[in-house]
């Protein structure tokens, strides 16, 4: 009698990653995000992608999602209940005022729906346009986010050095970059922003 005691197959992390990448594509690609100086949306978008996948694929409650992602239940709820159509109108410029919705949540929901409708969420391979990102020279942001997954903010230099060890960002060793930052770093968004400013110096 064979006993299977651990999950096999599907992967919530990969699905969240797909929703995240599709969200970026919906926004016109990372390049557009950079042009509009919206790179700090990335952590929020990553968070929203996880919320949507955990809610719709893993059937987690808001409380469970909040605990898993280290966010408040209200944030999880705002993400999952965002009116994606209104957000769509807003990002397409058809809405003059910013809607009262969770923007990243609405985008992640649009991306999730698209992937689901096209049957791409369940596909084995992860379609990440690494080449495109690398050509744009902004792949480091995604890599940094992957490395700091699960880290409790605020964080100090030592914790970051441990996680980001060995990374080279735009030709600079990450240790060199970390030396120049101010600590503690309050959030993933602040970390990306500070690294970006340091690269521009």
Contact positions toward another protein, by CB under 8 A?
1-10, 12, 57-61, 64
Minimum distance between the CB of residue 51 and another protein, rounded to whole angstroms?
A: 15
What's the angle, vertex CA 79, arms to CA 74 and CA 48, rounded to 5?
120
CA–CA separation, 1 and 85 (whole Å): 50
Minimum distance between the CB of residue 124 and another protein, rounded to whole angstroms?
A: 11
Contact 22, 111 (CB under 8 A): yes
Indicate the residue among 150 and 166 with the shorter CB distance to another protein: 150
Contact 19, 111 (CB under 8 A): yes
**What six digits make up the tokens of 62?**
């808001």
Indicate the residue among 60 and 109 with the shorter CB distance to another protein: 60
Indicate the residue among 122 and 165 with the shorter CB distance to another protein: 122
Minimum distance between the CB of residue 42 and another protein, rounded to whole angstroms?
A: 25
Minimum distance between the CB of residue 84 and another protein, rounded to whole angstroms?
A: 19
Indicate the residue among 5 and 201 with the shorter CB distance to another protein: 5
- Give the gyration radius of the chain's Cα atoms: 18
């Amino acid at each position: 009698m064979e006993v299977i005691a651990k999950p096999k197959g599907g992967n919530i992390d990969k699905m969240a990653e797909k929703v995240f990448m599709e969200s970026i594509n919906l926004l016109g690609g990372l390049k557009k995000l950079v042009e509009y100086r919206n790179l700090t949306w990335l952590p929020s978008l990553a968070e929203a992608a996880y919320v949507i996948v955990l809610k719709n694929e893993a059937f987690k409650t808001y409380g469970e999602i909040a605990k898993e992602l280290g966010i408040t239940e209200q944030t999880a709820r705002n993400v999952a209940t965002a009116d994606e159509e209104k957000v769509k109108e807003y990002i397409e410029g058809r809405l003059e005022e910013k809607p009262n919705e969770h923007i990243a949540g609405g985008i992640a929901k649009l991306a999730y729906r698209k992937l689901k409708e096209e049957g791409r969420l369940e596909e084995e391979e992860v379609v990440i346009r690494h080449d495109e990102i690398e050509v744009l020279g902004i792949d480091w942001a995604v890599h940094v986010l992957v490395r700091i997954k699960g880290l409790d903010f605020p964080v100090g230099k030592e914790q970051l050095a441990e996680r980001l060890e060995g990374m080279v960002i735009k030709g600079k060793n990450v240790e060199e970059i970390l030396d120049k930052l101010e600590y503690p770093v309050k959030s993933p968004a602040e970390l990306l922003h500070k690294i970006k400013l340091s690269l521009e110096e």
